[in-house]
Structure 1
Amino acid sequence: MIITECSTFRTTDVGKYAWGRLAHFQNVEAVTGQITDLHQLPQQQRTNARKQATQLRQCLMQAREYYDAARSVSLATRPVLLYYAVMSLALAEVLMKQSADSRLEKLREFHGCHGLQLSLANAVAPPDSLDLAATALRAKPQTAPDGSPRGTFEVWRRSSRELPIVGRYSQTHEGNLATTSRVQALMAGSDAEPEAYPKSGLSLLDVLLGLPQMVEILAAYGVKPKLVRATCTAVSGGDNPEPSITIIVHPALPSTMNDFMELVSFAPRGLERVNVKEYPSGIMLQFPGSIDVPGKLPWGVCPDVNNTWFSARQESLNEFGLLYVALHIAGNFARYYPDKWLAHIEVSSPLALVIDRLTEVAFDRMPLLVAGELSRRCLVAEA
Structure 2
Amino acid sequence: MTEFEIRKIKESRGADVAWRRLSAFQDVERSANRLIVERTIPVRFRDNVRKQMHQLSFAIGQAREFFKSAEISGPSTRALMAYYGLTALANAEILWHGNGDHSFDARAQRSNSHGFKLVQGQSLWDFAARPTEDASGFNGLFGLWRQFACHIPLYSRSTTYHWAGTRSNVHLASTHTPLANVVLPNASLTLGDCLKHLPALRSVLDLHDQETALCRGKIAEEIQVDEDWNRVSLTRTFFMHHVPPPVLDTVGAKFTMHPNCVNEFQISEVGAGLIIKWTPSLLDQKYAKSTFTMPEAFADADDVLFFVGAGDYLNEFGYYYIALYIAGMITRYHPNIWIKEQRASSSGATLIDELVEHAINRVPLLALSALERSIYIYE
Question: TM-score, normalised on structure 2?
Answer: 0.91
Aligned-pair CA distance for 1:66: 0.2
Give the equivalent residue in structure 2 for 1:352. Answer: 349
User: 2:313 aligns to what SS in structure 1?
Assistant: coil
1:241 aligns with 2:238: no
Call closer, same or farther: CA 1:67–1:206 in 2, change over 3 Å. same
CA distance in 2, matches of 1:200, 1:147: 17
1:187 aligns with 2:174: yes
Call closer, same or farther: CA 1:90–1:346 in 2, change over 3 Å. same
**Residue identity opposite 1:245 in structure 2:** R
User: 1:354 aligns to what SS in structure 2?
Assistant: helix
Give the equivalent residue in structure 1 for 2:150. Answer: 161
Aligned-pair CA distance for 1:34: 2.5
Give the equivalent residue in structure 1 for 2:370. Answer: 373
Q: 1:141 aligns with which of 131, 134, 156?
A: 131
User: Quick check: 2:56–2:96 contact (8 Å CA) kept in 1?
Assistant: yes
Give the equivalent residue in structure 2 for 1:286. Answer: 277
**Residue identity opposite 1:84 in structure 2:** Y
- Runs of 4+ with deviation above 6 angstroms: none
CA offset digits 1:266-285 (Å, max 9, x no partner): 12233222222222352211
Aligned-pair CA distance for 1:96: 0.9
Give the equivalent residue in structure 2 for 1:218. Answer: 205
User: Quick check: 1:263–1:314 contact (8 Å CA) kept in 2?
Assistant: no
CA distance in 1, matches of 2:71, 2:35: 31
User: 1:167 aligns to what SS in structure 2?
Assistant: strand
Structure 2 runs not aligned, ≥5 long? 283-287
Give the equivalent residue in structure 2 for 1:129. Answer: none
Aligned-pair CA distance for 1:108: 5.3
1:337 aligns with 2:327: no
CA distance in 2, matches of 1:199, 1:293: 29
CA distance in 1, matches of 2:177, 2:291: 12
CA offset digits 1:76-111 (Å, max 9, x no partner): 211000000000000000111112111111225331
Of residues 335-344 and 29-38 in structure 1, the stretch that sits farther from structure 2 once superposed is 29-38
User: Where in structure 2 are the equivalents of 1:248-263 lying within 5 Å?
Assistant: 248-263=239-254
Aligned-pair CA distance for 1:214: 1.4
Call closer, same or farther: CA 1:297–1:78 in 2, change over 3 Å. same
Give the equivalent residue in structure 2 for 1:231. Answer: 218
Call closer, same or farther: CA 1:69–1:314 in 2, change over 3 Å. closer
1:313 aligns with 2:310: yes
Q: 2:260 aligns with which of 265, 269, 284?
A: 269
User: Quick check: 2:245–2:272 contact (8 Å CA) kept in 1?
Assistant: no
Give the equivalent residue in structure 2 for 1:152. Answer: 141
1:114 aligns with 2:104: no
**Residue identity opposite 2:325 in structure 1:** H
The CA RMSD over aligned residues, in Å, is 2.1
Give the equivalent residue in structure 2 for 1:47. Answer: 47
CA distance in 1, matches of 2:188, 2:325: 12
Call closer, same or farther: CA 1:259–1:141 in 2, change over 3 Å. closer
User: 2:112 aligns to what SS in structure 1?
Assistant: coil
CA offset digits 1:46-103 (Å, max 9, x no partner): 2222122111111000000001111111222110000000000000001111121111
Call closer, same or farther: CA 1:101–1:46 in 2, change over 3 Å. same
**Residue identity opposite 1:381 in structure 2:** Y
User: Quick check: 1:277–1:284 contact (8 Å CA) kept in 2?
Assistant: yes
Equivalent pairs, count: 369
